Amino acid sequence: MSLDSSSPDASPFRNEPTSRDEAPQFVLPLVVRIEKAAPPARTDALETAARAVLVMLSDERSLDEGEWAQAVRDWQDARIRKVVRRARGAEWRRAEALPGITVSGESAEVRVFPPVPLDGWPKDLARLQVSGTELDDPEPPLAADPTAQPVIWLNPDLDMTAGKTMAQAGHGAQLAWWELSDKERDAWRAAGFPLAVRTADLARWPELTTSGLPLVRDAGFTEIAPGLTVAVEGYDRVGALPDHVHRAATWN
């Protein structure tokens, strides 16, 4: 599938009707843990959500004849939807009891679940809040280097909630994944899926969106109008990541 901005017809995110609409529709559920006394930092939550999508795509249960493989294939054959909900306390414990994978960042915890039909959410997930998820960074994030690790650049013109932005970061990670060979995917996973999520400089955004990079075109169903939200840079270097960006595997 071409992901270049010059061929949006192939995009699973565009708002116009496509052949993908004829397939059964699925959604990838993600739940971020937000305790009142200790919410995660926004950037850490964004990056942890992006890694959670990669962990789901690369998990043995999602591949070949694994128990989640058919659901993952069906989800990827239709429109690519991700919905981020939030949980704390007993809500989080109930979510953790369901089949899925919890991915941990510096302060964030995100649990990703195998895809479900749009109207087939497990009740312990369906009751969780989805709108208005907001988080802050206590300090500005460090500058990101796309020569050292993949960088998911966010459109600087958009104002999205943390939950919406987590879904967009996940979309960007998935597009990068689709561009990679099996060998490159294995290397990225072995390195712990290092990546960064940052808001692009306003002056550089036009360059990022016209350089042939994977681009996310949001369908505009929630919060924002249809249009470009994410560009992914540096994904083609995952086969030779420097040691300093390697991470321990932080999922279970």
57 and 177 in contact (C-beta within 8 Å)? yes
In a domain, 132, yes or no: no
In a domain, 1, yes or no: no
In a domain, 20, yes or no: no
231 and 215 in contact (C-beta within 8 Å)? yes
CA–centroid distance for 176 within its chain: 10
In a domain, 59, yes or no: yes
> What CATH code is carried by the domain that includes residue 148?
3.40.1490.10
In a domain, 251, yes or no: no
* Residue span of the structural domain in which 100 resides: 8-15+26-121+143-245
In a domain, 2, yes or no: no
In a domain, 133, yes or no: no
Per-residue pLDDT of the chain (252 residues; tens, 9 = 90+): 233 433 444 556 555 556 667 678 999 999 999 999 999 999 999 999 999 999 999 999 999 999 999 999 999 998 899 999 999 999 999 999 999 999 999 999 999 999 999 999 999 999 999 887 899 999 999 999 999 999 999 999 999 999 999 999 999 999 999 999 999 999 999 999 999 999 999 999 999 999 999 999 988 878 898 999 999 999 999 999 999 999 988 898
Query: How many distinct structural domains can be found in the chain?
Result: 1
